[in-house]
Amino acid sequence: MALYIELPLKIAQTEDDMDKSPLPRLIQPFTLLVIASFILSCQVTHQPQPVSQASVLTLKGVLMWKGDSSESGLYASETTLTPANVNVNQFGRVGSFQADGIVIAQPLFVSGLDMGSGATHDVVIVATEHDSVYAVDAANPGGAPLWERHYVDPSSGVTTMPDNFGGRTTLGGEVGITGTPYIDAATGVLYFVTTIARNGVPEQWLRALDVRTGKDSGSGSVQIKASVSGDGRGSVNGQIAFDPSNQNQRPGLFKVNGAIVVAWGSFSDWGVYHGWLMAFDPSTLQQIAVFNPTTQAQSTDAASGPSDYGGGGAFWGGGAAPSVDVDGSIYLNAADGSFNASTGGNNYGDTLLKLRLNGGSFQVVDSFTPANADCIDLHDLELGSGGVALLPSDFTNGVSLAAAYSKEGRLFIVNRDQLGGFNAGGDNQIPLEFMVGEQQCSDAITSDVAEGPGWNRLYGNPAFWNGYLYAAASSLPLKQYQFQNGLPNPTPIAASPSAYGLRGGNVVVSANGDQDGITWVYEKSASSQGILHAYDATDVSKELWNSNLNGGRDGMGTGIGFGTPVVSNGRVFAASDRAINVFGLLQ
């Protein structure tokens, strides 16, 4: 079978120019050698030829972060895996795929994908920090990829961006693809952002590939450039420019109102940064709209870091993609940063935002800011360590509710129709808030950063199923809360047998409707190992299985911070270091 591969480095994609070669990208091995030899002898550099936008499809699977735009982490159509068969004797690792870089982005899964040559596969999409993307056969993950793309070319001066660029703390070696990609179910186009360094100068690019072939879709790529009006941190002549060296494309990508939307945060609060949200035309990749939540200079601020007094407000959410309501409303959290919206300003640090994309702009529709915003900003316990999970109305007395985390270890339940703004006297303007963790932000804290095993930070999103809410804070067990009278009871009804590491656990649930619920939690342990856990979703004190019970068969390598498992078609996919582990029923 012909295999789509990258040609040698002299004809690899570099973005040095946007001209496109007519050279086909899917060719037989003999033809490849002839053409490649001829081109190399001429010493010509070419771009890959773009292909037209994929035809109308209806792809199924896990096509974005946590599977759908509610971000509630529920895989409700799982008919194979049940509490009865997920145990150490019947369930375990059935294969793995080794990539060329750390896998921070959540893997995606496409069921029964027609690859265009008469072959149909269940496909796992894997993106790495080495700026590579792979399509892997889920049934044979150890085999050769179905296709692969690589966006570095050292011979042309194109590398990944060093993660210690400018002096910041290293995060794992290199920065490439970090945010979870998005697959458009109707077109089969895969969207993601690559961070590269061209001769040492950082750049970021939005990419578009046909998920069936790995070839460019439409224009294939566009370099990320943007600016907004403002006099906040980093402004020059009344404009704040996007800095590709210092903005971390951490959240998952998503689609709303026909546009592909991408968000950025910071690299561990280093340097001068802001939150950025940008919308792009999915066919042309032309930029449609830009939003920055902290554009105004402030004379006073709760903290005094390089991005305070008119900056910060990163969008990162522990990797969560912003959520999207049925009316197109976008919900996301801005992390530590300047806040003056309660007095008529435009700064929204530590704020849950409700936005709408109207024409060429994002508009702030509503917001919620915790009463202790100054305290959590000062001590790095921000609201923005998680995303916003939209809850179904089955157990909320018909009210449109959403759940959000803070790094303080606090869970907020907000009314999506009236978020509540800011109330310095307390958060009694929202339906409910309570501590999942055991320590609260206060003036008694002496350090700027409240972290370590004594703090119970929350990251990512809570998961919801059948009237239960699940949250796994750091250094605490997974807790299960039950909805009563339209709201979760703050007293948990069950907890897991063991506590989690310093990143807590990212939670999803698989079920067949309201039956056979399994709560899956990804943990990066205190020893940095990745561990996948499975619990009975009706009672998480009953652990069904974990990947260390038979460590020789199922044990994983170094864990991924904020790693998120994917469940589909009887398989569970979980990353560790440079690998994607595939778990399923043993034969």
The structural domains of the chain, with segments of one domain joined by +, span 50-585
3-state secondary structure of 226: coil
Residue range 13-25, pLDDT digits in tens: 323 332 333 333 3
pLDDT at 11 over 70: no
Check the CA dihedral 214-219-225-229 and report its sign. negative
Q: Which helix (H) or strand (E) holds 523?
A: strand 515-524
Over range 177-194, report the average pLDDT: 97
Per the rule left: phi > 0, alpha: psi between -120 and 50, beta: everything else, 172 is left
Nearest to 335 by CA among 380, 302, 388: 380
d(CA 49, CA 216): 7
Are the C-beta atoms of 6 and 12 separated by less than 8 Å? Answer: yes
Residue 506: name the closest of 444, 578, 565 by CA. 565
Of 35, 21, 18, 17, the residue nearest 8 (C-alpha)? 35
Element (H, E) at 30: helix 29-42
* CATH architecture of the domain with range 50-585: 8 Propeller (2.140)
| pLDDT (average), residues 281-301 | 97
How much is the average pLDDT of 85-112? Answer: 97
Look up residue 54 and give its two tokens.
């994929």
The pLDDT of residue 285: 98
- What SS3 state is found at 317? helix
d(C-alpha 142, C-alpha 541), whole Å: 35
pTM check: above 0.85: yes
57 has pLDDT over 80: no
* Amino acid residing at 340: N
What percent of the chain lies above the pLDDT cut of 90?
Answer: 83
pLDDT for residue 436 is more than 60: yes
Burial degree of 349 (CB within 10 A; 0-12, 13-18, 19+) = buried
Alpha-carbon distance 76 to 167, whole Å? 45
| Res 42 pLDDT > 60 | no
- The total number of residues written for the chain in this structure: 587
Q: Are 204 and 68 in contact (CB under 8 A)?
A: no
Determine the pLDDT at residue 346: 96
Higher pLDDT, 173 or 30: 173
